Chains A and B, each alone.
Chain A
Amino acid sequence: MFIKTKIHVQGVHKEFPTDKGRLEVISELDFKVGDGEFVAIVGPSGCGKTTLMNIIAGFLAPDRGAVLVDDQPRLKPNPKGVLITQQGSVFPWMTVRENLLFGLPEDLHDREKLAADYTELVGLQGFENNYPHELSGGMLKRCEIARALVVKPEILYMDEPFSALDALMSLRMQNELLRILQKERHTVMLITHDVEEAIHLADRILVLSPRPARIQASFDVPFAHPRRVSTPECQALRVAILKELGVTETV
C-alpha cells in the first residue's frame, strides 16, 4: 500500500554553542512520516528530542537540512501543525471557551459552534467558562487538545504530552487520544520517554541514539487497537526497544 509522505525530515543537523565549543545535538537525521501515520520517537533523556520537535514544528531552524511538509519546506510554525507540550500552553487568562476560540479566525461564522463541539469532544462541557486554574491537570490537557484540534490541523506534534500527569491519568488520556483520533484522522508525531506509551499509541516507533541524536532503530507496531501492552507480542516489542535504549531487563 502506498502512503503519501506528510513530513520529510531531510538531513537535519543542529549544534548549540557552549563554553567548551560547539555541541552537536542532532546529527544528519533523516526520516519520513506518512500521511495519517502515528509515529512515536523514543530516546534517552537529553538526547535532543525536544530540540528535534521544535525544529520539526518550525520553532527552531536547523543548521543544515530541511523539514518538508507536503513537499514544501517548513520554515515557520503554522496552524497546519499544532504543538502540544508537557508543560502545556493553555492561556491562563482565558476561559476554556476563549482558549478554543483563540486560534479560530474572527470572521469564521460558525466559530462558536466549533468551539462548543470540540469542548464536548474532549468532555469538557459544563466547564466552558472556567479558568485554567480552576481545572485539574487532566482537564487542562483535554482543553489543550481541544484547542489544537479545533483549528483542524493536519498534524499534531506532541512532546511528552502526558508526562506531567500521574500514571492513571496519563493512561486515561492516551485512550482518550486514541478515541479522538479514530473520529478524525491526523498525522501524529509523538515524542516520549515512555516505551509503553509509544507501543500503546503509535503505528511506528523510532529509537533515537544518545546525543548527537540519530535514528538508531525503527519498529513497526502492527497490532490492532485497542491494544493491551501486557500481551506477549507487545512485551517482546517492549523488550526489543528497551534493548536498543541500552536497558536489559533481568526476569
Chain B
Amino acid sequence: MKGALPSLLVLAAVVGIWWLTVVFTQSVIFPTPWQVVTGTLELARDGTLWEHIGASLFRVGAGFGIAVLFAIPLGLWMGWVHGAFVTLNPLFQILRPISPIAWIPIAILWFGVGNASPIYLIFIASVFPMIVQTTVGVHTIEKRYLRAAENFGVPRGKLFRQVVFPATLPQIIVGMRIGLGVAWLVVVAAEMIALRSGLGYMIIDSRNAGNRYDLVVAGMIIIGLIGLLLDGLMRLLENMKVVRWRYVH
C-alpha cells in the first residue's frame, strides 16, 4: 500500500491544480472537479450512465471476442506452418498500420449505423496485434521443449494441446492485453460517429446538447477507469500458474 502513496499524491495534485485553475480563470464552461462529480451522480441516478457503459462494454466484448476466436487459431497456424506465415504475413503487415478510425467510412458503408459498425471496427483494431503476438509466441518456443516432445514421440494432437499451445499462451495473453486496450480506445472513437449510445456518444452528446462539459470530463474519467479495470482483468490472466513461468525471472 505504501507504494501507492506517491501516485495518489500526483493524482491529488492534478485535481488540485485543475480546481485552482478553473477558480482563478473564472471559466464559465470548464467544470470544477466537484461539478464533474455532481454531474456524474446525476447521470448515475437517472440510469443513463449505466446504459452508456453497458453499450460500450457490449460492443467491446463482442468485437474483441470475435477477434480472439479469429486471431488465436490463425496465429497458431501461421506460427506453426511456415507456408501460411509467408503467404499471409505481408497482407497483415499492410493492414495493421491502418488506423481503425480510417475504417469508419467503410464500416458505415458495409454495416450501417447500428451496433455492427463499432463491433467491426473493434474487431479490426484488436485482431492484428493478437495475430502477431500469437505467431511470435509460436516462433519463439524454445527448441529444447519441441525436442523433448519429439523425443517422447507423442501424437500431433497432443503435441499441439500440451506443448505448442501452452508454450505460446503467455504471448497470447500479452496479445490479448494489447488487443483489449486498443479495442477500448476504438469503441469510444466509433461511438462519437453515428451512434446514439455508449460513452463516446455520451461525450459528444453532452457537448452538443448545451455545452455540458462536466459530463464530457466525467465521460473521459469513466473511460479511463474502465480501461484500467479491463487491463487489471487481463493482468489476472498473467497470474495463472500455467503462464507464470514466462513472467517470473
Contacts and interface: CB of A to CB of B under 8 A. Distances in A.
A212 interface: no
Given A93-B243, A131-B245, A79 B152 contact: yes
Contacts of B156: none
B144 A77 contact: no
Given A93-B242, A131-B241, A131-B245, A59 B153 contact: no
A89 B245 contact: no
A91 interface: yes
Given A87-B144, A91-B163, A131 B152 contact: no
A162 B169 CA distance: 30
A83 B243 CA distance: 25
Interface string B151-176: 11110001000110011010000000
Given A93-B242, A102-B149, 13 more contacts: A57-B151, A77-B150, A78-B153, A79-B153, A82-B151, A87-B144, A91-B148, A91-B162, A92-B245, A93-B245, A94-B166, A131-B241, A151-B152
A106 to B, nearest CB: 8
A85 interface: yes
Contacts of A77: 147, 150-151, 153
A89 B145 contact: yes
Contacts of B167: 91, 93
A161 interface: no
Contacts of B162: 91, 94, 102
Interface in A54-111: 57, 59, 76-79, 82-83, 85, 87-89, 91-94, 102-103, 106
A59 B147 contact: yes
A22 interface: no
Interface of A is mostly: loop
B248 interface: yes
Contacts of A102: 149, 152, 154, 162
6 contacts: A77-B151, A83-B147, A87-B144, A92-B245, A131-B241, A133-B245
B144 A59 contact: no
A133 to B, nearest CB: 5
Nearest to A132: B245
A203 to B, nearest CB: 24
Contacts of B145: 89, 91
Interface string A104-142: 001000000000000000000000000111000000000
B148 to A, nearest CB: 4
Interface of B: 144-145, 147-154, 158, 162-163, 166-167, 169, 241-246, 248
Interface residues of A, number: 23
Nearest to A85: B144
Contacts of B242: 93, 131
A78 B149 CA distance: 10
B244 A133 contact: yes
A87 B144 CA distance: 8
B153 A88 contact: no
Contacts of B243: 93
10 cross-chain pairs, A with B, having the tightest CB-CB distances, nearest first: A92-B245, A103-B152, A89-B148, A93-B166, A89-B144, A77-B151, A93-B242, A133-B245, A78-B153, A79-B153
A188 to B, nearest CB: 16
Given A88-B144, A89-B145, A93-B167, A83 B151 contact: yes
A29 to B, nearest CB: 22
A189 to B, nearest CB: 14
Query: Of residues B153, B158, B244, which shows the largest number of chain A Cβ atoms within 10 Å of its Cβ?
Result: B153
Contacts of A93: 166-167, 169, 242-243, 245
B167 to A, nearest CB: 7
